[in-house]
């Protein structure tokens, strides 16, 4: 995966007129989106106004100042479940820029910038946490035009873009029609398990959509949420001396091995892509002891919940059969196992023809970008997608790489361009008084069940948590 930088955007009004009526084509086999004529005309008109141009100029002018925020926030450690210090720093910066905000019971920083009324409520978000444990050196270092620090791009850059948007909107007195809910959330990474977003959408049933910010590759847009279930499996037996008790008692490690072998033989569909892995194993007490205990952790993923649940059922059957085989081998029933769900990210998707996707894609092409690629990912957007709420993830800007390593890097060159596209998308969705009507439909209020209760790697050139 590589996050690409782009050339300077062409002036909005000229490009919008030139691209009017263009359809958003996708690479073969990828989801495609056709821009409705009403959306195309509305975006073209809005982007050609003097207010939209002033907003974009202000975002670019604020770029150098965002670098100060980026260094400040990056150097405040935010390991999973310990995001409080960074949350408080973000809250202080947002408050200083004119947003009335607070930290909720889960640890999210939330501030609502009220609209003039009658419009949708849109969440704009970036996550506070990083994957790095306590004690990691998060000092920002600059070499040869690149910034280096763990968590710099993922997702501290997104936090600084939110702060820039708050500053620009308030200084230009932009009156949106709908409400903007700014959220710096906890729990996106590792076993945080999307707890911040689950709490947000549990506690606020009136949210109509979400735009999140991440270092997505090449300006791509995430419209499908890769769901995951993670299980810890513990095997228990009586244990014993490797020589004296041989043939009398089963081994927890051998039982686990049999289970892993059976898991490895499971077949899963390629469409929808469904995956599994035994990610960690441990156990035993010494080389000359029949292991009394062993444990492993399993990760199961898919973009479709039924496929993921089918794989999960097959894996659980394989574990039971592995334990049964080990007991049968020694004619006993003393080996047992327990499972514990340690990760639950719901799968979901935003249809490629949803208004929120159309607007985001139209905004990108209006800035002279190629049509964005629509990709699956595992992100904060999984939660609203799983609830049927339109959501997507956009690029926070700047070329970057090395995510989830201590060598993570980011280049500031032209990073303001994605911030421009993101804010233009947001304003088109919620509408601006006297300039444009909201393009994001309002949803009827519904009572939501508590959302199901997180980590990242690179798959097929995509950033997958």
Report yes or no on 179 lying in a domain: yes
Residue 6 above 90 pLDDT? no
Confidence of residue 354 (pLDDT cuts 50, 70, 90): very high
Q: Are residues 212 and 320 in the same domain?
A: no
- pLDDT tens sequence across 95-133: 999 999 999 999 999 999 999 999 999 999 999 999 999
Last residue of a domain, one of 345, 369, 394: 345
Say what the pLDDT of residue 31 is. Answer: 63
Say what the pLDDT of residue 14 is. Answer: 31
The dihedral region occupied by 412, where left means phi > 0, alpha psi between -120 and 50, and beta the remainder, is alpha
- Report, as an integer, the average pLDDT of 59-85: 97
Report yes or no on 17 lying in a domain: yes
Say what the pLDDT of residue 30 is. Answer: 55
Half-sphere exposure at residue 8, Cβ-oriented, CA atoms within 13 angstroms: 4
Taking the C-alpha atoms of residue 183 and residue 383, their distance in angstroms, rounded to an integer, is: 14
Report yes or no on 4 lying in a domain: no
Last residue of a domain, one of 345, 360, 391: 345
Report yes or no on 46 lying in a domain: yes
Confidence of residue 33 (pLDDT cuts 50, 70, 90): confident
Report yes or no on 2 lying in a domain: no
Q: Are residues 432 and 351 in the same domain?
A: yes
Q: Are residues 160 and 200 in the same domain?
A: yes
Half-sphere exposure at residue 99, Cβ-oriented, CA atoms within 13 angstroms: 28
- Report, as an integer, the average pLDDT of 367-391: 95
Report yes or no on 458 lying in a domain: yes
Q: Are residues 21 and 113 in the same domain?
A: yes
Last residue of a domain, one of 345, 367, 387: 345
Q: Are residues 69 and 149 in the same domain?
A: yes
Domain count, the chain: 2
What are 5's two structure tokens? 């930088």
Range of the domain at 314: 227-345
- pLDDT tens sequence across 168-215: 999 999 999 999 999 999 999 988 999 999 999 999 999 999 999 999
Residue 230 contacts residue 297 (beta carbons within 8 Å): yes
Q: Are residues 384 and 435 in the same domain?
A: yes
Confidence of residue 25 (pLDDT cuts 50, 70, 90): very low
Q: Are residues 412 and 296 in the same domain?
A: no
Query: Does the N-terminal peptide bond of residue 57 adopt cis geometry, omega within 30 degrees of 0?
Result: no
- Report, as an integer, the average pLDDT of 50-75: 97
Residue 348 above 70 pLDDT? yes
Taking the C-alpha atoms of residue 370 and residue 270, their distance in angstroms, rounded to an integer, is: 28
Report yes or no on 6 lying in a domain: no
Instruction: Compare 440 and 453 and report the one with higher pLDDT.
Output: 440
Q: Are residues 283 and 220 in the same domain?
A: no
Q: Are residues 235 and 212 in the same domain?
A: no
Half-sphere exposure at residue 208, Cβ-oriented, CA atoms within 13 angstroms: 21
Residue 35 above 70 pLDDT? yes
Q: Are residues 231 and 159 in the same domain?
A: no
Phi/psi of residue 219, nearest 5 degrees: 70, 20
Q: Which of 37, 363, 30, 38 is nearest to 223 (CA)?
A: 30
Report yes or no on 5 lying in a domain: no
Residue 2 contacts residue 402 (beta carbons within 8 Å): no
Q: Are residues 192 and 62 in the same domain?
A: yes
Q: CATH number of the domain at 282, please.
A: 3.30.70.360
Residue 219 above 70 pLDDT? yes
Q: Which of 204, 198, 203 is nearest to 179 (CA)?
A: 204
- SS3 assignment, position 255: helix
Taking the C-alpha atoms of residue 345 and residue 324, their distance in angstroms, rounded to an integer, is: 30
Q: Are residues 268 and 128 in the same domain?
A: no
- Report, as an integer, the average pLDDT of 60-77: 98
Question: Across the beta sheet with 336-345, what order do the strands follow?
Answer: 274-283, 293-302, 227-236, 336-345
- pLDDT tens sequence across 235-286: 999 999 999 999 999 999 999 999 999 999 999 999 999 999 999 999 999 9
Residue 415 above 60 pLDDT? yes
Residue 232 above 50 pLDDT? yes
Say what the pLDDT of residue 444 is. Answer: 77
């Amino acid at each position: 995966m590589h996050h690409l930088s782009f050339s300077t955007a062409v002036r909005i009004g000229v490009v919008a007129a030139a691209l009017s009526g263009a359809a958003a084509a996708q690479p073969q086999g990828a989801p495609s989106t056709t821009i409705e004529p009403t959306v195309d005309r509305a975006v073209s008109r809005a982007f050609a106004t003097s207010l939209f141009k002033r907003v974009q100029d202000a975002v670019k002018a604020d770029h150098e100042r965002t670098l100060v925020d980026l260094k400040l926030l990056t150097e405040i450690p935010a390991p999973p479940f310990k995001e409080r210090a960074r949350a408080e720093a973000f809250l202080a910066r947002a408050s200083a820029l004119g947003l009335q905000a607070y930290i909720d019971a889960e640890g999210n920083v939330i501030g609502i910038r009220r609209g003039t009324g009658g419009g949708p409520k849109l969440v704009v978000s970036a996550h506070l946490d990083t994957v790095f444990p306590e004690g990691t050196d998060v000092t920002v270092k600059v070499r040869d035009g690149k910034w280096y620090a763990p968590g710099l791009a993922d997702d501290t850059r997104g936090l600084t873009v939110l702060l820039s948007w708050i500053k620009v909107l308030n200084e230009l007195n932009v009156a949106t029609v709908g409400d903007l809910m700014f959220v710096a959330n906890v729990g996106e990474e590792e076993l945080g398990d999307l707890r911040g977003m689950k709490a947000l959408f549990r506690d606020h049933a009136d949210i109509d959509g979400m735009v999140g910010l991440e270092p997505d590759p090449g300006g791509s847009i995430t419209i499908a949420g890769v769901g995951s279930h993670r299980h810890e499996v513990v095997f228990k037996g009586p244990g014993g001396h490797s020589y004296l008790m041989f043939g009398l008692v089963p081994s927890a490690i051998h039982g686990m091995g049999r289970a892993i072998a059976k898991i490895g033989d499971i077949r899963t569909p390629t469409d929808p892509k469904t995956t599994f892995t035994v990610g960690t194993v441990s156990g035993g007490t010494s080389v000359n002891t029949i292991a009394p205990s062993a444990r492993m952790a399993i990760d199961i993923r898919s973009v479709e919940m039924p496929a993921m649940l089918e794989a999960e059922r097959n894996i659980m059957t394989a574990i039971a059969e592995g334990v049964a085989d080990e007991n049968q081998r020694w004619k006993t029933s003393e080996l047992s196992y327990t499972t514990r769900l340690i990760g639950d990210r719901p799968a979901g998707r935003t249809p490629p023809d949803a208004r929120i996707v159309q607007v985001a894609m139209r905004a990108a092409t209006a800035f002279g970008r190629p049509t964005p690629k629509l990709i699956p990912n595992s992100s904060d957007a999984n939660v609203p997608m799983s609830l049927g709420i339109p959501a997507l993830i956009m690029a926070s800007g700047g070329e970057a790489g090395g995510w989830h390593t201590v060598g993570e890097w980011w280049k500031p060159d032209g990073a303001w361009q994605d911030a421009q596209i993101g804010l233009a998308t947001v304003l088109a969705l919620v509408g601006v008084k006297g300039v444009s009507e909201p393009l994001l439909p309002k949803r009827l209020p519904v009572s939501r069940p508590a959302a199901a209760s997180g980590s990242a790697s690179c798959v097929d050139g995509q950033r997958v948590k």
